Structure 1
Amino acid sequence: MLISGKQKAILALLADGQFHSGTELAETLSISRSAIWKQLNGLADLGLQHSAISGKGYRLVRPLELLDENNILAAVDEKTRALISSFEIHDQIPSTNTYLVERALENTHSGAICFAEQQTAGKGRRGRHWVSPFGSNIYLSILWRFQASPMAISGLSLAIGIAVIRALKVHYGDTFRLKWPNDIYYQDKKLGGILVEVSGESDGPCAAVIGLGLNVYLPETEAAEITQLWTDLTQITGQQQLNRNVLAGTLLDQLLFVISEFEAVGIAAYLDEWRRYDCLKDKPAKLFIGQHSYEGIVQGIDDNGLLLLARPDGSTQAYASGEVSFNSQHTLPEQIKIPSPPERGLG
């Protein structure tokens, strides 16, 4: 379902979480009260619940902070802001990553930014889907062009994880961790994920689309089919209303700083910091690569960002890719499942 202009206008009025009468809404939007009722009923399809009380009017069950370009950019440093070539916020989009991958083929400039309130066919690693309720979380993608080859920026996703941790520390303290190769964790529960898609010649240059999905508020009903432990910032902080625009701006600021310097400094500049946040180190884990799995004790990452796994035979192997399961029961694969149709996801 696509959000209509009338629904967007109603959401803007109801975003404060307060009651607004049908008469007030109708007069403000110059439509009938029956049209207001019809549009409100359609909001449930976006995962937005509202209540109606006679004599008081309508209100959203939960206040809503819609993304706003000016409010986001206000949290971005002036020097970092100069790196942005274009800035878009979509109400709904299939995938922020797919959108920028397509724009990269059209020679869109480096520094293109895409946010979305909701994704309808977004993706995580290996084509997986990511739960993306409307107006609740952060769905962000950045297009960046490198002169280096795809191989030369192979550690980029680890550096992106550092940027996310730095942004979270600004607002919520030093409590977040990183799970190799591209997940944000809090107390062994997944808070967010990173997806880097690279295209270009084998010897360079290349274009990278860096996607981030971060749970700010994930309704239980939306997350019912997730098959791994998850959390969101609302649960972590105990705050019912978080400033999503300020967080989005801080994330964008940190991400652009790291991305812009990565080609010059490489993964070596981030190894020590990444290791401080490693949530897998010294834990028993199972690594899945295609149809094969490998068990062992995680020994951290090597100087190239590869996962080190101490095997039962006494050897230690380095792995460039794979999916790691490290929960105590070893029963839940590190993946997301959501209902289909419709499909929802991370960009």
Structure 2
Amino acid sequence: MNSTKQLIIKYLLSHCDEWVSEKDLFFETHLDYEEIFQIINNLKENEGYKIIVRKDRYYKFLNNYSLKTDIINFYSQYKFSNNLLVFKKVDSTQKLAKRISQKNTLKEPSIIVTDEQTKGYGRHGRHFYSPSVTGLYFSIIFPNWSNNLSKNELLTIDIAVIVIKVLERFFPDEDFKLKWVNDIYLKNFKVAGIITDIFSKTDGSNNLIVGIGINLTTKKFPKYLVHKATGINGQININRNKLLAQILQEIIDHHRSPKHFLNDYRKRSMILGKKITIQLGNSVMKCTAQRIEENGYLTVKDRFGNLKTYSAGEIVRIKW
């Protein structure tokens, strides 16, 4: 973080919701007072930063609803500042990640974040409702990925636990649950989903693209989702930049030093011991969820008492 603008943003963020004088900023940046005023005015008027400016030129930086690269980098301690792209609106972060993968040779994990998706999708290509400002929608590209089914399954489980643990810190009163394999639920409504895509490049290498969508404060949903999805809490102003930064930081740290969270996943499972209906390709089966195996697979007991283990499938109903 070298530019004078970024130095000012960093200092204001370090004193968020506090009054900061031009004198403070002068000692921090060594800019003259008029230049400081012009930079802050530009941040406020042209770049959408929420800054209160007093007549005596004291400044107060407020929690921003919009996602900003500089703010995310600040909260993540600049761990991936060169590999972070933030947009106001895209068709889909997954689709954009695939286009970036096709055109570029990446060496480090890269992150695409947006305030809104017009064609966001989840498993089986189903539409993921992604309205502006009320959620988090992002994809992470892991380059040169070895396409191993069991490894991919465990990564999805690990990321689901990472996301839910961060959400628990920001929403300590909520009881989040996991539906095998990649959905996060609250009070029997879906609040987040995770999707993994393998993108095969023309040079024979693979990129793993992990997409995550979280409904934070979303209140209004299309009719087909009213009884299926909800926002976590529509009554509070959550710091989306800080929440996103912590999720990204923990996922990237996990990628660099992997460890598995199967026990944490099992503790938060909403299906174990329950009667479920699972869709397997074109067929469905009623059974009882028995356990999550060490490789992340699901073992169930069918109506004849036989144990069966599956690496993939979709749970379409849970009997409470």
2:307 is aligned to 316
CA distance 1:135–1:185, change in 2 (3 Å): same
Aligned partner of 1:290 among 281, 289, 295: 281
Code of the residue aligned with 2:193 in structure 1: it is G
1:199 is aligned to 199
Code of the residue aligned with 1:158 in structure 2: it is I
2:236 is aligned to 240
C-alpha separation between the residues in 2 aligned to 1:327 and 1:230? Answer: 15
Q: CA deviation at 1:226?
A: 0.8
Aligned partner of 2:255 among 259, 278, 292: 259
* TM-score (norm: length of structure 1): 0.69
C-alpha separation between the residues in 1 aligned to 2:98 and 2:300? Answer: 33
CA distance 1:243–1:149, change in 2 (3 Å): same
1:159 is aligned to 158
Code of the residue aligned with 1:169 in structure 2: it is E
CA distance 1:64–1:134, change in 2 (3 Å): farther
The 3-state SS of whatever aligns with 1:73 is helix
Contact 1:160 1:259 in 2 (8 A): no
Deviations 1:52-81 (A, max 9, x none): xxxxxxxxxxx9711111222222256xx1
Aligned partner of 1:249 among 228, 245, 250: 245
C-alpha separation between the residues in 1 aligned to 2:195 and 2:181? Answer: 10
The 3-state SS of whatever aligns with 1:258 is helix
Unaligned runs of 5+ in 2: 1-43, 52-62
Q: CA deviation at 1:225?
A: 2.5
C-alpha separation between the residues in 1 aligned to 2:276 and 2:225? Answer: 20
2:30 is aligned to none
- Could you list the runs of 4 or more consecutive aligned residues of structure 1 that deviate by over 4 angstroms after TM superposition? 8-11
1:276 is aligned to 267
The 3-state SS of whatever aligns with 1:296 is strand
Q: CA RMSD in A?
A: 2.7
The 3-state SS of whatever aligns with 1:166 is helix
Deviations 1:163-189 (A, max 9, x none): 101211222227212111110111222
1:217 is aligned to 217
Contact 1:150 1:206 in 2 (8 A): no
CA distance 1:228–1:9, change in 2 (3 Å): farther
CA distance 1:228–1:320, change in 2 (3 Å): farther
Contact 1:149 1:200 in 2 (8 A): no
Contact 2:147 2:198 in 1 (8 A): no
Code of the residue aligned with 1:148 in structure 2: it is S
Count of residue pairs the alignment pairs up:
262
Contact 2:136 2:244 in 1 (8 A): yes
C-alpha separation between the residues in 2 aligned to 1:254 and 1:287? Answer: 31
1:141 is aligned to 139
Q: CA deviation at 1:146?
A: 4.2
* Residues 1:126 and 2:124 are matched in the alignment: yes
Q: CA deviation at 1:112?
A: 1.0
Code of the residue aligned with 2:88 in structure 1: it is D
* TM-score (norm: length of structure 2): 0.74
Q: CA deviation at 1:152?
A: 5.1
C-alpha separation between the residues in 2 aligned to 1:124 and 1:305? Answer: 20
2:7 is aligned to none
* Residues 1:90 and 2:87 are matched in the alignment: yes
Contact 1:146 1:206 in 2 (8 A): yes
Choose 145-154 or 312-321, whichever is displaced more: 145-154
C-alpha separation between the residues in 2 aligned to 1:85 and 1:11? Answer: 20
Contact 2:290 2:300 in 1 (8 A): yes
The 3-state SS of whatever aligns with 2:115 is strand
CA distance 1:270–1:206, change in 2 (3 Å): farther
Aligned-pair identity (%): 23
